[in-house]
Chains A and B, each alone.
Chain A
């Protein structure tokens, strides 16, 4: 390497990745240990979801697809808890199911966390909420659930026949769903196609940040009513329902880590541009 290749501008472009990683880790740990309570603005996508939940009436059936996995649990779970809190406060009945393999495990974990709240609200399993478990088939299964839920599920997760479950006696197909939400890292479009486009069921999505750009056109067209954008969306929902939790704690982390990446983006380009000028 010549001295021409070892200027300050070269160094700015070649900062070791370990430095970036270290700063990222620090930016995550500090806000977690000492939350700063930075303000959280509410996006229109989250607002429409909240407003839609606000229209739930006592006895309405709110279907929740627990389709996330351990990888996205950090933001899907707070979103699920906040939304369930709102739906329960409105008196909605909860029908929960999964079209992803890890769904049942995620359900067991999250239901144990919100069980005290459900109990305090007087919610009884089988009467006010039910979990039907996992079904294979992905979009084919969604189509079957929309047309006749009993063609896919004959029992709940714990082996009780659907006809013996009080809540399920009046739930057969899409006509009985007031609205639904999918917590997913997969393909949210399939919910739009099978529930909203075909039957007009009010559909909400809570997906990862990476999926949000692909699903935004459906929100803009009204095919998706509410859209939670990953962890930030979950934090916004926690703020709206008045129960700041894990997602709100993580927003400081998003703020700091995003700013560090932005800073490195600028530093790298300053080095690149100045090096180019020096050559000229």
Chain B
């Protein structure tokens, strides 16, 4: 019983109070509510920072377990991950992230790797467009034609040469896309409001984890 109070009832009460507080701050201009809400936001930032630390510890524990089990070849990557992890953390914490040593390893390792990964997806996207954009029906024709207009109109040389294509692209983006995406956004907004109320009033409890025996 006491476990249920600690794991369910108290978190639900906290959720309710914090939720009502933030809603109150939004709708009413009361200085005392504003002050408390500001403190809650500060706690939110602190909790997020703590969560990052917790995530780092979790990465270390999971990879240590993987190395201990030595299944397949994953454990070799786990060793490498931990070497890089502690290398970055050691230099970053010991010498500071503004130190030349930290900046050197960042600029010569992480930056080029990260800079390569994102553009590399371009090649796969191009290949996927070539292989999958087939006019199999009238609906597919519309889809391919829209994609093609956006694609070529995004090429500055085409945009400068064929103003009509730019106007067509602008119409697609401003009318078709905006209308469709607004509908999605309004749907998401209404869903978020509903979910927010369900969480505040304790009807939605998945964020608290599973109950024992579930």
Contact partner, A214, options B103, B131, B148, B181, Cβ 8 Å:
B181
Contact partner, B123, options A24, A137, A269, Cβ 8 Å:
A24
Which of B99-149 touch A at CB < 8 Å?
103, 106-107, 110-115, 117-119, 122-123, 126-127, 129-131, 133-136, 144, 147-148
CB neighbours of B190 from chain A (8 A): none
Which of A239-280 touch B at CB < 8 Å?
251-252, 254-262, 264-269, 272-273
CB neighbours of A24 from chain B (8 A): 122-123, 126
Which of B6-14, B153-161, B201-209 touches A? B153-161
Known pairs A24-B123, A144-B38, A216-B178; list 19 more (Cβ under 8 Å).
Answer: A21-B127, A38-B157, A39-B157, A40-B160, A44-B170, A105-B111, A137-B45, A137-B48, A141-B44, A144-B44, A147-B41, A151-B45, A213-B177, A216-B173, A256-B155, A261-B130, A262-B148, A265-B144, A265-B148
Does residue B23 face the partner (Cβ distance < 8 Å to A)?
no
Does residue A49 face the partner (Cβ distance < 8 Å to B)?
no
A113: min CB distance to chain B, Å? 13
A20 touches B44 (CB 8 A): no
Does residue B58 face the partner (Cβ distance < 8 Å to A)?
no
A236: min CB distance to chain B, Å? 9
Does residue A70 face the partner (Cβ distance < 8 Å to B)?
yes
A151 touches B38 (CB 8 A): yes
A264–B131 CA distance with the chains assembled, in angstroms: 9
B157 touches A216 (CB 8 A): no
A142–B122 CA distance with the chains assembled, in angstroms: 32
Which of A58-66, A71-79, A87-95, A174-182 touches B? A71-79
Contact partner, B156, options A20, A38, A138, Cβ 8 Å:
A38
B118 touches A72 (CB 8 A): yes
B131 touches A73 (CB 8 A): no
B48: min CB distance to chain A, Å? 4
A44–B103 CA distance with the chains assembled, in angstroms: 38
Instruction: Give a binary string over A217-256; 1 marks a CB under 8 Å from any B CB, 0 the rest.
Output: 1001000000000001001000000000000000110111
A16–B83 CA distance with the chains assembled, in angstroms: 39
Which of A15-39 touch B at CB < 8 Å?
15, 17, 20-21, 24, 38-39
Q: Which residue of A lies closest to B182 (CB)?
A: A217
15 pairs from A and B in contact (CB 8 Å cutoff):
A20-B127, A41-B160, A70-B111, A70-B115, A137-B48, A147-B38, A209-B154, A216-B177, A216-B178, A220-B174, A255-B155, A255-B157, A259-B158, A265-B133, A272-B134
A148 touches B38 (CB 8 A): yes
B residues touching A (Cβ–Cβ < 8 Å)?
26, 34, 37-38, 41-42, 44-45, 48-49, 51-52, 97-98, 103, 106-107, 110-115, 117-119, 122-123, 126-127, 129-131, 133-136, 144, 147-148, 151-152, 154-160, 163, 166, 170, 173-174, 177-178, 181-182, 185
A109–B106 CA distance with the chains assembled, in angstroms: 11
Contact partner, B110, options A40, A70, A261, Cβ 8 Å:
A70
A108–B111 CA distance with the chains assembled, in angstroms: 13
Q: Do A151 and B42 contact each other (CB < 8 Å), given the known contacts A70-B115, A74-B115, A137-B49?
A: yes
A221: min CB distance to chain B, Å? 8
Instruction: Give a binary string over A135-170; 1 marks a CB under 8 Å from any B CB, 0 the rest.
Output: 111101101100110011000011000000000000
A73–B106 CA distance with the chains assembled, in angstroms: 14
CB neighbours of B106 from chain A (8 A): 105
CB neighbours of B181 from chain A (8 A): 213-214, 216-217
CB neighbours of A20 from chain B (8 A): 123, 126-127, 130
B44 touches A258 (CB 8 A): no
CB neighbours of B103 from chain A (8 A): 105, 108
Q: Which residue of B lies closest to A135 (CB)?
A: B45
A152 touches B107 (CB 8 A): no
Does residue A69 face the partner (Cβ distance < 8 Å to B)?
yes
A145–B93 CA distance with the chains assembled, in angstroms: 26
Q: Which residue of A lies closest to B26 (CB)?
A: A198
Does residue A188 face the partner (Cβ distance < 8 Å to B)?
no
Q: Which residue of A lies closest to B114 (CB)?
A: A70
CB neighbours of A232 from chain B (8 A): 154, 156
